[in-house]
């Protein structure tokens, strides 16, 4: 694999991604053959935010490969509670571990961590920004359940604004030709503009609708998501959005028999539990596909044991990112890094937000 770190799944080329998916399938078919594949290697899981699946599937993946694990799932039990910076934490842990999976509430954290860690960094979710290994989970599921990653009509429903799994999935599926995204949300929770721009620049297309019931008959895949309570400014704003979209048996009557229902989980109440017994529901199988996907990713990333820290970067512009959720807001030593986005617009290289200059 050419990339050392995986901040976004599009850091992998198509060929590399397909190779990881096929390796995941080979491991799933014959796990004993890989039981010592990472013997002597250590994975660190640095989780600054709660998790069930991502943290445990990373840990299980490494243990099933014969490796070992270290880390924290509550930063208050680490020296973060004493004020240690992200830079210092990943510099130190990058000296202990062979590979690091990091989750953090601030957008752009994995990109920032990759600048200081000698060990490869995997983004295990950075605020409302990206979640590439959930997308790996999703594409392993689609590859096996749909038999293709192209020419699919994919409905994404719920919190498209704050749902990092949605952003990552669209970014990756836009690189496969002929996919059509049906974006189902309230006007308050629509997809960020930069994600729309990515679809527009691709060989894919999208429509934005407000009714799940009306959209469902045309879908090959329905990707349900939770309203991300923790990203709202107030409980009142959250309550206005909660319960707007609920998938139940009645709505499924009009769906294709071949449609597949995915959800990154955790579920709150956006899928009725009765749906769990419908053969189109694949969200629990999805979690198992994800473990094999992570096993394949860890193995592939560790094949290249480059432990050289990245060269020091200097600020590209004399501005700060305007996104209040960007990691640069709390970790003030980070250089200001932007890409030109045309006109007076800059894109933050940590969180992808637009800043007007
Ligand atoms: N899908 C997902 O990221 O789940 P967790 O938050 O439980 O890790």
> What are the chain's domains?
9-131+288-304 (3.40.50.1370), 132-287 (3.40.50.1370), 314-357 (no CATH)
pLDDT of residue 172: 97
pLDDT of residue 356: 85
**Residue 355 confidence class, pLDDT cut points 50, 70, 90:** confident
**Residue 9 confidence class, pLDDT cut points 50, 70, 90:** very high
How close is the Cα of 320 to the center of ligand 1, in Å?
30
Query: Is the pLDDT score of 138 beyond 90?
Result: yes
For residues 287 and 137, the answer to whether their CB atoms sit within 8 Å is: yes
59 lines ligand 1 (CB under 6 A): no
How close is the Cα of 311 to the center of ligand 1, in Å?
32
Ligand 1, atom 4: closest residue by C-alpha? 53
228 lines ligand 1 (CB under 6 A): no
51 lines ligand 1 (CB under 6 A): yes
| Residue 164, CB-side half-sphere exposure with 13 Å CA sphere | 25
State phi, psi for 64 to the nearest 5 degrees. -70, -20
pLDDT of residue 343: 86
Single out the residue of 165, 29, 81, 106 nearest to residue 331, CA to CA.
Answer: 106
pLDDT of residue 102: 98
Ligand 1, atom 1: closest residue by C-alpha? 264
pLDDT of residue 83: 97
Tell me the pLDDT of the chain averaged across its residues.
96
Query: Is the pLDDT score of 341 beyond 90?
Result: no
342 φψ region: left (φ > 0), alpha (ψ -120 to 50), beta (else):
left
Ligand 1, atom 6: closest residue by C-alpha? 51
How close is the Cα of 208 to the center of ligand 1, in Å?
26
**Residue 198 confidence class, pLDDT cut points 50, 70, 90:** very high
- The secondary structure element, H or E, covering residue 165 is helix 164-173
The answer to which of 5-14, 90-99, 336-345 has the lowest mean pLDDT is: 336-345
- Token readout for 299 is 């193995």
pLDDT of residue 306: 83
67 lines ligand 1 (CB under 6 A): no
36 lines ligand 1 (CB under 6 A): no
Quick one: average pLDDT of 215-234? 96
Single out the residue of 141, 100, 96 nearest to residue 281, CA to CA.
Answer: 141
Can you say whether the dihedral through the CA atoms of 313, 318, 322, 325 is positive or negative? positive
pLDDT in tens, 258-311: 999 999 999 999 999 999 999 999 999 999 999 999 999 999 999 977 888 888
pLDDT of residue 109: 98
Distance CA 206, CA 153 (A): 9
pLDDT in tens, 234-251: 999 999 999 999 999 999
pLDDT in tens, 112-127: 999 999 999 999 999 9
Burial 1-15 (b: 16+ CB within 10 A, else e): bebbbbbbbbbbeee
- Token readout for 81 is 């509670």
- Token readout for 222 is 């329905």
pLDDT of residue 75: 96
**Residue 131 confidence class, pLDDT cut points 50, 70, 90:** very high
**Residue 197 confidence class, pLDDT cut points 50, 70, 90:** very high
For residues 194 and 221, the answer to whether their CB atoms sit within 8 Å is: no
How close is the Cα of 14 to the center of ligand 1, in Å?
25
267 lines ligand 1 (CB under 6 A): no
264 lines ligand 1 (CB under 6 A): yes
How close is the Cα of 314 to the center of ligand 1, in Å?
34
Which atom of ligand 1 approaches the CA of 137 most closely?
1
pLDDT in tens, 70-99: 999 999 999 999 999 999 999 999 999 999
**Residue 33 confidence class, pLDDT cut points 50, 70, 90:** very high
265 lines ligand 1 (CB under 6 A): yes
Kindly state the percentage of the chain with pLDDT values over 90: 94
pLDDT of residue 180: 98
Which atom of ligand 1 approaches the CA of 55 most closely?
8
pLDDT of residue 119: 97
pLDDT of residue 342: 85
From start to end of the chain, where are the E strands? 42-47, 68-72, 99-104, 121-126, 153-157, 180-184, 205-209, 221-224, 260-262, 338-340, 345-348, 354-356
CB atoms within 10 A of CB 125: 28
pLDDT of residue 275: 98
**Residue 203 confidence class, pLDDT cut points 50, 70, 90:** very high
């Amino acid at each position: 694999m050419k990339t050392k770190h995986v901040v976004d799944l599009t850091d992998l080329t198509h060929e590399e991604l397909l190779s990881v998916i096929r390796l995941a399938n080979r491991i799933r078919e014959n796990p004993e053959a890989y039981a010592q594949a990472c013997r002597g290697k250590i994975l660190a899981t640095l989780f600054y935010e709660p998790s069930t699946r991502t943290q445990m599937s990373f840990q299980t993946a490494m243990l099933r490969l014969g490796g070992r694990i270290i880390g924290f799932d509550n930063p208050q039990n680490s020296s973060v509670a004493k004020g240690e910076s992200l830079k210092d934490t990943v510099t130190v842990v990058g000296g202990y571990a062979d590979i690091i999976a990091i989750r953090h509430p601030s957008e752009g954290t994995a990109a920032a961590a990759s600048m200081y860690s000698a060990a490869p960094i995997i983004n295990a979710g950075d605020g409302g920004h990206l979640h590439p290994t959930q997308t790996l989970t999703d594409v392993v599921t689609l590859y096996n359940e749909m038999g293709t990653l192209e020419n699919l009509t994919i409905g994404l429903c719920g919190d498209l604004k704050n749902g990092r799994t949605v952003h990552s999935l669209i970014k990756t599926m836009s690189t496969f030709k002929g996919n059509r995204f049906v974006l189902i949300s309230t006007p308050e929770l629509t997809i960020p503009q930069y994600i729309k721009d990515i679809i527009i620049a691709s060989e894919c297309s999208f429509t934005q609708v407000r009714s799940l019931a009306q959209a469902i008959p045309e879908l090959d895949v329905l990707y349900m998501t939770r309203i991300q309570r923790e990203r709202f400014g107030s409980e009142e704003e959250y309550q206005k959005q909660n319960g707007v979209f609920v998938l139940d048996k009645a709505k499924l009557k009009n769906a294709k028999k071949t449609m597949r229902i995915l959800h990154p989980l955790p579920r709150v109440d956006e899928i009725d539990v009765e749906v769990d017994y419908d053969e189109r529901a694949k969200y629990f199988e999805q979690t198992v596909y994800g473990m094999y996907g992570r096993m394949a990713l860890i193995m592939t990333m560790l094949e290249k044991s480059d432990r050289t820290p990245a060269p020091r970067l200097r600020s590209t512009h004399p501005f700060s990112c305007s996104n209040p959720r960007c990691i640069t807001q709390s970790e003030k030593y980070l250089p200001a890094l932007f890409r030109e986005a045309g006109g007076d617009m800059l894109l933050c290289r940590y969180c992808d937000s637009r800043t007007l200059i």
